[in-house]
Structure 1
């Protein structure tokens, strides 16, 4: 992954940009105060001015005027004048138009009081035209005169600490823009993660989520790529399972078909031998062989039916059917076998109709499989009961026996294909079934799903 496309790199760039921009904006805005002009320090000037006034104690006017001229040369932006003991103004350089020529003692005191600069008042008013004025008594004696030093407030460092409203608005806007960009940055990350979460939770037709579109090759893009890779592996695995399942079903179908041919030939030869028997022992042996051939034929039929049901290729014809009538027909077919095995037969079916939406052929196959299980595995109980009972507010069909239950070992026990066929058919016809088994026998309930 390109480091420039990394989310961490982008966020670090955003932070560094803010760290550089925030101090840079005030520096650029006030650069003219730092580089384009010399700013006077009011406290320093006031100390110098008062010290100079004290040093001029008792000096002649020419000396005072010459000394103030030298100070003027050091501070060219300042306006300097002084008032002598007679109240006459003496200007250093050009005369200020708003300054009088003569002063009374009271005028000079009022001027000194009004000229005092208050920083708090200035910060509240923020008048850029304000003049910073310093006054000092020569020799600390009002009779010797007053020295006046004036400079625009913008030429002092007091002017540099002001906050202009446009600058404040601009700086707040920059901060707001940074917060907005940060919010969009994390909102976009959250949006992509939520989209990926939604894609993971939604499944397609095959029960597997669909792939996501990778728009950016950052950390989330790599996560999306890993997710897509996992989806492809799942699809390949599912496709491989389907191929293996189809191969297995095809193999079972082929085996079933191949076994039918020799069984048919064997049955024909058994029939021919039975037609011209030599002894009763041969007849008995041939009867056993024929019974086993019948069992194998039923097993092959079950195996083929299970394969077709698993593949969804077994035809089904759902229609309204009188279940009790179908049960009676099946019982009639099995009745001779029940008598042959000397079963106690307990049939309890009402005369009224019980209509279910089923495939009659499938339902008959279910009954045949369940009754066959009784005759093969629960024969020792010598009992079969087929009844209509009320369960959970609806009528169910129950098939009972008094064998040893499903846990009992049986010499005729098979692979359980018959019950697997029953389960698949019941599910396809939206029917419900339940097995209750113990050492005293087994009860199998068939009913409609509630």
Structure 2
């Protein structure tokens, strides 16, 4: 239960319930306000059109002279400040007037009087016409009372007219406060989520996310997510440390194994050298030659394994310089020429200048790449007895092509290894920002090493 009250759901429910309570209290206060107005309306129920009309007739009929009419006008003005009153005497002359805003003629005739009555009957303002003196005595003329229709509105309508805007503003303030609180609530959530997202995207020196500084006072759903994230970061860091330790042990093991394997290989090479000097039968000579080839092959595999390990650990020395690639490849194939010729290969070399013959690369690394590729041709494509090395240039790139007529990379070979040689080629070319492609089928393999032109 304690965790629930710390949750975001509980906090937002409190905001909703508070808002509903405020609205209900507001409605209750408005209801009480209008109830008090209803009580007031009962007290002021005398202000009806019928009662006003009867009272006006009574007051005007009882007037005996002009002095009395002024007194009556003053009394009605005190009671109804917005009332308009005027008196037209028996001769049709406009005599007295109070709060008269419209333009009326000084001389009234029967036609204008009829028109005035017609225009103001059942209209706004409310108009009452009463004759001075007794009902049958019209020699003193008539008096007119005009009151705005809203004077007779019920108190509730008057209150709405007077306080409606204020009440609406108060309700809008309540709604605005609720929206503002909700906005701040969700803004706080969004800020914490963005902070968590930023922590997930940011990487430290070990390429792992950094831990988030937690607020122990905010252990809601996001706080629990931050805690879980920190735990995940700790576990990842521990896992990476274990992986680094295991990698270090593996490199040390490979280095030790390479050293331990090379020692007996060196001794075996020495024994083979001694056997070659002995008088052997042809079968013996073939056996010694096969043993020597196997030793060389094992030594090459050990060298590749060491190089691959150093490359993966970024420990292989890399010193890039500007190199004339055409000359470099020509010298490299020249060093292998006798080897291919001895094995009966047909060698085709077509090396011409490129658009950009100066390649920025490590000569040792690229020499290792070419040695691996030539060695693969010698071991796995020997049945084709063909190798071609040539340059190619296009609008997009300059390249070196190495082609053989073997049975393809996918073909099973008695000397096929784990593919470490090609893995070394791929890693070295990537590091030197060079691209390469392989096309291989039953008719041979074509390898293209290319430099993209800027």
TM-score relative to the length of structure 1: 0.70
Q: 2:179 — aligned with what? A: 179
CA distance in 2 between partners of 1:351 and 1:6 (Å): 73
1:335 corresponds to which of 334, 337, 342: 337
Pair 40,445 (structure 1): closer, same or farther in 2 beyond 3 Å: closer
**What CA deviation, in whole Å up to 9, does each residue of 1:347-378 have, x standing for no partner?**
11126892111111111111111011111010
Q: 1:228 — aligned with what? A: 230
SS in 2 for 1:425: helix
- Could you tell me how far 1:340 is from its partner in structure 2? 1.4
- Could you tell me how far 1:264 is from its partner in structure 2? 1.2
Q: 2:193 — aligned with what? A: 193
Kept in 2: contact 1:30–1:160 (CA 8 A): no
1:248 corresponds to which of 239, 247, 250: 250
Q: 2:14 — aligned with what? A: 13
Structure 1 range deviating more: 322-331 or 244-253: 244-253
SS in 2 for 1:312: coil
- Could you tell me how far 1:222 is from its partner in structure 2? 2.4
Kept in 1: contact 2:398–2:452 (CA 8 A): no
SS in 2 for 1:414: coil
1:288 corresponds to which of 287, 290, 297: 290
CA distance in 1 between partners of 2:147 and 2:157 (Å): 11
Structure 1 range deviating more: 211-220 or 260-269: 211-220
Kept in 1: contact 2:402–2:446 (CA 8 A): yes
- Could you tell me how far 1:330 is from its partner in structure 2? 1.8
Kept in 2: contact 1:321–1:357 (CA 8 A): yes
Pair 271,108 (structure 1): closer, same or farther in 2 beyond 3 Å: farther
Pair 358,227 (structure 1): closer, same or farther in 2 beyond 3 Å: same
The answer to whether residue 308 in structure 2 is matched with residue 306 in structure 1 is yes
Name the Cα RMSD after superposition: 4.0
1:415 corresponds to which of 415, 418, 443: 418
Kept in 2: contact 1:211–1:231 (CA 8 A): yes
Q: List alignment gaps of at least 5 residues for structure 2.
A: 52-57, 64-73, 77-129, 136-143
Equivalenced residues, count? 374
- Could you tell me how far 1:35 is from its partner in structure 2? 8.8
SS in 1 for 2:263: helix
- Which aligned pairs between 1:12-411 and structure 2 lie closer than 5 A? 12-25=13-26, 27-28=28-29, 41=42, 120-121=150-151, 164=163, 169-215=169-215, 216-277=218-279, 279=281, 281-350=283-352, 354-411=357-414
- Could you tell me how far 1:323 is from its partner in structure 2? 1.6
CA distance in 1 between partners of 2:387 and 2:348 (Å): 6
Structure 1 range deviating more: 159-168 or 320-329: 159-168
Structure 1 range deviating more: 383-392 or 243-252: 243-252
- Could you tell me how far 1:36 is from its partner in structure 2? 13
- Could you tell me how far 1:396 is from its partner in structure 2? 1.0
Kept in 1: contact 2:269–2:295 (CA 8 A): yes
CA distance in 2 between partners of 1:242 and 1:108 (Å): 121
The answer to whether residue 449 in structure 2 is matched with residue 428 in structure 1 is no
SS in 2 for 1:41: helix
**What CA deviation, in whole Å up to 9, does each residue of 1:279-298 have, x standing for no partner?**
55444432322221111111
Pair 162,431 (structure 1): closer, same or farther in 2 beyond 3 Å: closer
SS in 2 for 1:338: helix
- Could you tell me how far 1:3 is from its partner in structure 2? 2.5
CA distance in 1 between partners of 2:188 and 2:300 (Å): 65
**What CA deviation, in whole Å up to 9, does each residue of 1:26-75 have, x standing for no partner?**
6457868879997573599999xx9xxxxxxxxxxxxxxxxxxxxxxxxx
CA distance in 2 between partners of 1:160 and 1:446 (Å): 91
**What CA deviation, in whole Å up to 9, does each residue of 1:314-362 have, x standing for no partner?**
1111101122222222222212221211111101112689211111111
Kept in 1: contact 2:396–2:452 (CA 8 A): no
Q: 2:440 — aligned with what? A: 437
Pair 399,105 (structure 1): closer, same or farther in 2 beyond 3 Å: closer
Kept in 2: contact 1:42–1:157 (CA 8 A): no
Q: 2:90 — aligned with what? A: none
Kept in 2: contact 1:435–1:445 (CA 8 A): yes
SS in 1 for 2:319: coil
SS in 2 for 1:2: helix
